[in-house]
Amino acid sequence: MSSAYRNSFSRGLASTRKYLAKHAESESLKGPEFARKLGHFGQALVIPAWAEGEALSDCLAAVPSGAQGHTLIVTVINATRDAPGGVRASNRESFLAIESTFGRGQRLGPQARLHEHPVGSLIVLDRSEAIPLPPKQGVGLARKIGCDFLLSLMESGAIESPWIHCSDADTKLPATYFEQAQSQAQDGETALIYPFRHRPESGGVESYAIALEYEISLRYYVLGLRFAGSDHAFHSMGSALALHGNAYAQVRGFPRREAAEDFYCLNKLGKLGKIKQLKGCPVEPSSRGSNRVPFGTGAAIRRQLEVGPNRRQTYDPRIFAYLKVWQQTLKAVRGSLADRRDIRSTLARAAGAEDGVDAKPLFEALELSGSFERAEHCFRGSPGTVNQRIRDNFDAFRTLKLIHALRDSGLGRVSIREAMADARFIAMGEEAFSLSISSLADRMEHLDYGAQ
């Protein structure tokens, strides 16, 4: 680990210790004790598991070696108190499969067991049988449990890297996974996002096509945000994250949500520092449908299977031109006292200069989303902190809220292919209707990562 990283993490030890003392999950209390037993690791990874059955052991066995020595893998096998009986039965299969693959291991506590692993060590945390999760807290709490546990080991000096890696049990990691973070991360970054590409499943041709549609829609959204000049143009995928330990502590970890925990955690991390898109080999999430969470990739694929591929809709591309006008207005107003007195007139001038933007629905959406009021609040404070206030007030969540207001103001939704054809920031034209879904996904992946 570079000296810059050491300093970055050391500077935040006070906030990390405060978080561990007041806000971390109970599993983290054993960190100092376990650190003495476990020895030293170069890097660490958290994988939550919910009804993965025997497949979980295959996922864990495939974790690659790390660039900084032994790797500590933590899997949190979980179920909520109100989960169907089949979920716990599947989790019991996971426990048995892990024992079959990695041996019985060593009991570390009532809910933790340590196993030897080819690249280091594996700790299995049980939140399925003895102490299941509360209802509605699902994957968010499972990720928080694993990350809090690793953070306590970091604070105790047992893990060299300051990055807490997060993935999912259905995701394949490339051989260079840990090396990509080590070689590309820089001081001041709060989160790293790995490249991703969905992989086909045996016999799942239709679900793979739907997964590619969903992947295209994710890239379309991020490309649209980049076109608009948003500070929040990043992917939110729990299977493709690495979080700086100190920053993770400052935002009080993952929210205890049953879905979108990755989005809300990144939304907070983006206010502390830079979120970086890594380059290199992608992680490969499964293209399976799932009912593990109420929304997200697996849920979107499951719902779409009911209506078939080529039916997915997304935001009208004009929305991002409207968002661009708002971003330009905020930028212009920052530097002009006169414009601060009348944000609306500045906005009207910017709308008039942008092709295809009608000021009326934009004004309506900004009023509906509370954006005018927030902007006026931002500009009333000290000029020296105005940029940070704008970044905090118009974060990823508020940006999405404005996009939804624009959608509801009449801009509506269009098919994926219509969006690809009409979006200025993609410029695919009629070719969007003739390409196969696989070719369209390849083109969007190139635009996504080629634009970095």
- 3-class SS at 106? strand
Identify the sign of the CA torsion 12, 14, 15, 21.
positive
* Positive/negative CA dihedral, 126, 131, 145, 114: negative
CATH of the domain at 79: 3.90.550.10
Based on the fold, state whether residues 10 and 132 are members of the same structural domain: yes
Residue 163, SS3?
strand
Radius of gyration of the chain (CA): 23
Within a domain: residue 166? yes
Q: Are residues 258 and 385 in the same domain?
A: no
Q: CA 423, CA 317: separation in Å to the nearest integer?
A: 5
Tell me the residue ranges of DSSP E strands in 64-139: 71-78, 106-109, 112-117, 120-127
For residue 423, being part of any structural domain is answered with no
Nearest to 268 by CA among 237, 238, 301, 232: 232
Return the pLDDT at 288: 72
Which one-letter amino acid corresponds to residue 191? A
Please check whether residues 250 and 347 belong to one and the same domain.
no
Q: Are residues 103 and 33 in the same domain?
A: yes
Q: Which amino acid is at 112?
A: A
**DSSP bridge pairs for 159:** 41
Q: Which helix (H) or strand (E) holds 365?
A: helix 359-368
Same-domain check for residues 186 and 114: yes
Assess contact for 42 and 153: CB atoms under 8 A: no
Judge whether 403 lies within some domain: yes
Model pLDDT, residue 192? 98
* CA gap 25, 19 in Å, rounded: 10
Is 130 within the bounds of a domain?
Answer: yes
175 belongs to a structural domain: yes
Instruction: Let me know whether 272 and 323 are in one domain.
Output: no
If asked whether residues 256 and 386 sit together in one domain, one would say no
Total domain count for the chain?
2
End-to-end CA distance of the chain: 25
Contact by Cβ (8 Å): 194, 180: yes
DSSP letters, 213-255, are: HHHHHHHHHHHHHHHHT-TT-----GGGEEEEHHHHHHTTSS-
Name the 3-class secondary structure at 278: coil
Q: What is the pLDDT of residue 376?
A: 83
What residues make up the domain containing 329?
318-411
Same domain, 50 and 112: yes
> Is residue 427 domain-resident?
no
pTM: 0.91
In this predicted structure, what is the pLDDT of residue 332?
83
User: What single-letter amino acid sits at 368?
Assistant: L
Whether residue 342 sits in one domain with residue 242: no
Query: Where among 251, 280, 309 does a domain terminate?
Result: 280
Last residue of a domain, one of 227, 255, 280: 280
Long-range contacts of 63-67 (CB under 8 A, 24+ apart): 63/117, 63/119, 63/173, 64/119, 64/173, 64/174, 64/175, 64/176, 64/177, 64/178, 65/118, 65/119, 65/178, 66/42, 66/119, 66/120, 66/178, 66/179, 67/42, 67/43, 67/178, 67/179, 67/182, 67/183
The amino acid that residue 123 corresponds to is I
Q: Does residue 119 share a domain with residue 27?
A: yes
| Order of strands across the sheet that contains 120-127 | 106-109, 112-117, 120-127, 71-78, 43-49, 163-166, 241-244, 189-193, 274-277
Residues 266 and 398 in one domain: no
- Mean pLDDT in order along the chain per 10 residues (452 residues): 42 82 91 86 97 95 94 97 93 97 92 95 94 93 97 94 96 97 94 96 77 93 96 94 96 93 96 95 85 59 64 91 94 65 85 90 92 85 80 92 93 93 93 94 94 50
Query: What confidence score (pLDDT) does residue 35 get?
Result: 86
Residue 449 lies in a domain: no
Closest CA to 292 of 446, 138, 165, 69: 138
Q: Is residue 51 part of a domain?
A: yes
Residue with token string 């530097």: 335
Q: Which residues have CB under 8 Å from 335's CB, separation 6+? A: none
User: How much is the pLDDT for 294?
Assistant: 54
Same domain, 365 and 245: no
